A and B are shown apart, each in its own frame.
Chain A
């Protein structure tokens, strides 16, 4: 056992209102400068949608992350490192600026300076790349609130496998929001892709950083990251990425995106894991096993053996305490409601998500006389608008079982709490049906609903 500590985040998508406050506060703090105009360390995607950069999840195209080779060994999908060294000057797997978006501004000063003229002055868009007039064809969030689009569906890698489940019809509309930052993976393919050795994980908290002095701008990390969360600063010629706000984390403040999240859906906490188990877990043969495998890499911070080993490894007592109080541990391992994003990329991501509930579809309302039973004000999970298969493509490499289990827990929590809310006797069979005790369910409710500042971070 080799105990290491990792700062991690869980986002409860069931609470995300898609407001993008996180994106703006992050951008203002970190990437509001020349060379980073198009860079959003934190962005929010409407799903279904192509994402930012467009179609980044299409690893057949971009070759990000890891895969197993024929011998079952973990290799970078973009090719072994040997190959990479020879490809260093011509990297074909790099999204173009168009795939992100061509950043622009406007000639705002015209509004003030325009001489007397025939028409009302207007500020026209100007490319921040070329300085020329442009027609805006894509933006940092072009998909916003579309719920997918027939105009782009054919390019949506997420829909390819489950196209029969998604109809872009008014009555079947569904959507939800997916905020994304760097995953600060346990098994980062960006770091493995870097020919300069400039990308490293901080020993003490696992935050993945680019050493700005060592980066040589090869951009192999951009290709290697399947989440496309490393960006190229075209002014400095270096790679930049989400830093998990380490200057704040170091003084006990949550990340900017978390503290400013008005949906109150982000949790930050410390996880202890066994560094010796990472590679093995990342190399599990069946994609569907990756979620469980990663969970097993995490160590129980209450286990005396773990505490002893952690101490031996130089982890301070207050860090162990933090790991014990960690809402992340509770959400991932105790309540098991948080799931990793695209475990099939095999990078062992450390920003996890609670999948969202959604309204029922009309067809269920039609037969929905059952819903009048007071105990069943809430719909069955299989009647929800967001196809469970879609969520499974995101969080469990297509395995619907774990997603179904999470959604059932959330629905059960609502049922259980409704009795309490209405002043009735609570019904212990509800938590039992999803394998939880009443106390566990109530504690989970407090963490998800009451969610005080001190308990979120």
Chain B
């Protein structure tokens, strides 16, 4: 190469034409002299200098790149990424991280999962040594001082010291009112654990174990760390709080339609779709490591549509952008459904679709019509075998066997596979979707002798007020019952007319007055009618041609609304009509906090401590905080405000708190604290009375001597007293109604501006106390590695090891692998892993509890539970409230089950550390399939070693986090092929269909922790989930249901369009329907959207009223990383609110101005980002920016500005607390009220640009 030349050889001429020479001759001569003084080679044409690599001048960069080791780990944050990372270590210091690229291949004709990661994860190592790291245990100074005083005054007894503080109102107020205002002081682990343990012992003794609560979300991301505290809380009898529903990530439509929590395709399956709609899901931001599958699938000829109110990051990739107004997505989907029904079901038959809906959905099933008077009817209950002539009615579980007409014979038949076949002896081998010779009749129109008008509910007025429309359906009579099919009702609901049917129907797609036409939706969504129709048509046409490969990726933009379940049901109508569920490349792809603990069975045993005691107390967090942060005291409307005109008034006169209380006492939803008496004392009282607890409690409830705690949440004996938080930031992230938390739960300063509920709106069954409590919580304890809004408000803060400092397991549903956390360095300073921290607490607790508590009996109230025969407690979903005298209180039927559990409080630590005996004797049950674990326990005893002495003598050890990893992997079907096969064989007996072959290829495979320390390991197809990975295919949910005809866990065993529970009917949501966002002006007297006020009006805040949305942030994963200097440098360095240029102009706001956002719930101070990519009338405050970074004092309140959730509050939808009926039966994180927050509005005003801190 050129170095071979001697530069002196070529001084004369560049060899090029003058024209392309450099500069002029003079400078050329000057520069040429350089060639004599350099060791490098000046190019012949004098442009540049070349040198060979490897010179000493490079040393700096070579040295910078060198490292001692690379350790595999990942990030246990609340994110579905589940990305495997390389952590670089030099001289014992973590330097940085880059992604692993060694994922097993997806195959030669597909992109791969490498490299997974995002900028947030790439910035994680910053935390290790950052000044926000929690390095030592901290206690609030004023509390620590009182504790030490108390101890010295009470013979050194920590329990009495705690009592000394919390039972004295002045002392309690002194430390509670200091929360969040600095003054944390260092403590030792010993002393901090002593405080925490003493608080637990005192609380359990005086108030009961269900007054202890624990919160840690999303186990999939670090399941051992989650299980650490959960295991402790469950062993002592505390309540673990749900998260999926609380985060509003649970799509309630999923249990409603599928009878399943959520099951979704891995991102690699997007590749298989022919048509993809991204609906309210900003993939590049919220699914960063997966987004490439979408960009790449486009090259395979996939058409991509983006529905988003703003020009979001993902819109760039779409072929078309449908900017539907926020919260109106349901209207667009309903109109698309209208087009699909008309063009693919009515105008012509589409064989693939027709066959699909007949086999896999409830569309052919019969529904009874109720006479509503005046010749009109309303849709009623499913016709069941119980309604048939006596022979049918006599069969087992007849009320849970649904009926359809066989088109061949015209006779009603009871197909296999409904809920009634799932339980009981007669159903063995018949719980399947095999139809045999039966041809389900979809519509009764052909040859119909009779039609009737059915009142279809509607809510499409601007304020969401209810109305109805008469539309005809064909009917017939079965055993005296007037019936039609779900399909006929669906066409009536969607307004798709057919010849011969009476009623008001759409004149055509351009009929803007008739729901749910394309023209009708244009008025609501702003999306052109022709576009809505065309996209709906394209979606279905693609599904027809590809046999179901049309997919909707749906996100928080559509799932975080009050009425999200109706939005989702309109989406699922599209995928389910077009045969897309259970098909690779098709169906719903709900990606909102939907993390999948793939080794679910093993994890559940450990976290719920089911190996030692059953059942656990699992609480719905939304209802918990609705009551205990006293948000129920600020409601301005009753539960019946949401009712349809077609309902019977079942919610009339009730407040939301009343509805929650009713749900709890009927055993629908859990409620902890449960009773207004310590459940330990209750067990003693029952024993003293010489009665079984069930009988005793029923008697006490009936006599009124015992009440539910939720019916008087402000009575001091009914508060939750202790809250432990780890792996979470409740007060900086998920706490809707943040200011209510600060005031009522914590008893410190807040910026609430709302007024309390007027007298006529107050609860009737739930007690209203004149004085709202402040500071209900005695102890807020947080374990974290960084300072957050939760730590700085905590009484005790314990320093956690980070994700690069411990062992753990990580899975997601975005990819099919399990992989590990490993320590790159030992936990530095005084940090401890979560497992270690909770062991420390448990040890101290056991020591104190041995004398203060001893062995006690505990009465646990358990709600009716999904995937058990409890789902048959309430035939036809008829509400029966024993308190109203509608029935007798019968535990496990009309009220919660009551179970007595023994708690050996001195042995909690010993139990933490060992796998208990109940897994041997009772096995482990997941979704109705019980696994026998005898062999696995033996294996674990040998693998982990056995514990010696104490209550756990001879049991497998769980002393170390690695032991727990092994136990989770060994006890789950997805990671242990023996168990997967065993589970399928069990399921084969009930279903009578072949299943075990799905896991046969991996029957001998057992994944160990050591395996996960290598490249990510693919999991095994297991009955724990609904999809198949057999043969290396991509995971898509419900493929086992579709391909093997295994029923869904619903009433009919099919996917449901129709829901016949009383309260669903009451809300007018029996069928998919459009419900607009809540009208906050009407409900809470907020100013109307678009209102510009100068502040002169009474009580009005100056500024512009806009819709207030809190989408997921590009620069954080919830509150994690928003404080990270890299992320702050790449964004705008602090809290901000995005708004449109048009809105900004209305109130004189410029880009980067300081602004305030004010509503009745609180005040936020932020800087404005002004952009035309934002739609007029809506602002975004990206989620969880916390309050710790550059947040000044608010002008409006004189206090520190709030967080994004300072402007939100909890709003509970009554239908979310339905339970005890078919798929509408409670399971933890499966069903429950959502912590939705999108319907909110705020006033935006420009504030003084001089800010103070």
Contact = CB atoms under 8 A, between A and B. Distances in A.
Interface in A262-291: 262-265, 275-276, 278-280, 282-283
B836 to A, nearest CB: 22
Nearest to B14: A279
Interface in A115-141: 115-125, 136-137, 139-141
B319 interface: yes
Interface in A360-383: 360, 362, 365-366, 368-369, 371-372, 374, 377-379
Contacts of B55: 211
A116 B182 contact: yes
Contacts of A18: 284, 313, 316
Contacts of B321: 359
B1211 to A, nearest CB: 26
A315 to B, nearest CB: 7
Interface stretch (A54-62, A88-96, A184-192, A328-336): A184-192
Nearest to A191: B48
A150 B1172 contact: yes
Given A72-B20, A246-B61, A360-B320, A200 B534 contact: no
Interface in B274-296: 274, 283-285, 288-289, 291-292, 295-296
A322 interface: no
B819 interface: no
A73 B132 contact: no
Which of B3, B48, B110 has most A Cβ within 10 Å? B48
Contacts of B47: 74, 187-188, 191-192, 278-279
A116 B140 CA distance: 9
A230 to B, nearest CB: 14
A122 B1189 contact: yes
Interface string A390-408: 0000000000000000000
B1099 interface: no
B56 A28 contact: no
Contact of A14 (B61, B183, B295): B295
Interface string B29-44: 0110010011011011
B301 A414 contact: yes
Contacts of A14: 295
B939 interface: no
Contacts of B289: 262
Contacts of A263: 291-292, 295
Contacts of A80: 23-24, 27
A192 B42 CA distance: 10
Contact of B131 (A101, A103, A108, A414): A108
B1126 interface: yes
Contacts of A262: 99, 115-118, 288-289, 291-292
B19 interface: yes
Contacts of B114: 453
Given A15-B295, A81-B23, A81-B27, A421 B300 contact: yes
A124 B181 CA distance: 16
A145 B112 CA distance: 28
Contacts of B323: 170-171
Contact of A283 (B20, B142, B283, B1123): B20
Interface stretch (B624-632, B684-692, B975-983, B1131-1139): B1131-1139
B1082 interface: no
Contacts of A175: 311, 316, 1173
Interface stretch (A19-27, A154-162, A298-306): A19-27
Interface string A191-229: 110000101111111010101111000000000000000
A151 B1150 contact: yes
A449 B62 contact: no
A175 B315 CA distance: 9
Interface string B510-542: 000000000000000000101100100110011
B284 A19 contact: yes
A199 B57 CA distance: 11
B1096 interface: no
Interface string B95-137: 1111101000000111110111111001101000011101000
B1175 A74 contact: no
Interface residues of A, number: 149
Nearest to B546: A422
A416 to B, nearest CB: 8
Nearest to A133: B1253
Given A144-B1114, A170-B1172, A17 B50 contact: no
B878 interface: no
Contact of B1130 (A73, A105, A140): A140
B354 to A, nearest CB: 21
Nearest to B305: A359
A82 B101 contact: no
Interface string B147-183: 0000000000000000000000000000000101111
Given A123-B1189, A136-B1132, A151-B1170, A109 B181 contact: no
A366 B17 CA distance: 56
Given A203-B51, A248-B65, A372-B537, A142 B1132 contact: yes
B64 interface: yes
Contacts of B31: 81
A144 B1131 CA distance: 7
A200 to B, nearest CB: 4
A118 B1199 CA distance: 9
Contacts of A148: 1172
B792 A121 contact: yes
A451 B65 contact: no
A162 to B, nearest CB: 17
A85 interface: yes
B298 interface: yes
A176 interface: yes
B123 A24 contact: yes
6 contacts: A29-B96, A112-B138, A117-B183, A123-B1190, A263-B292, A453-B114
Given A32-B96, A115-B182, A259-B98, 9 more contacts: A25-B96, A29-B64, A73-B21, A151-B1170, A171-B323, A203-B50, A262-B115, A372-B538, A449-B300
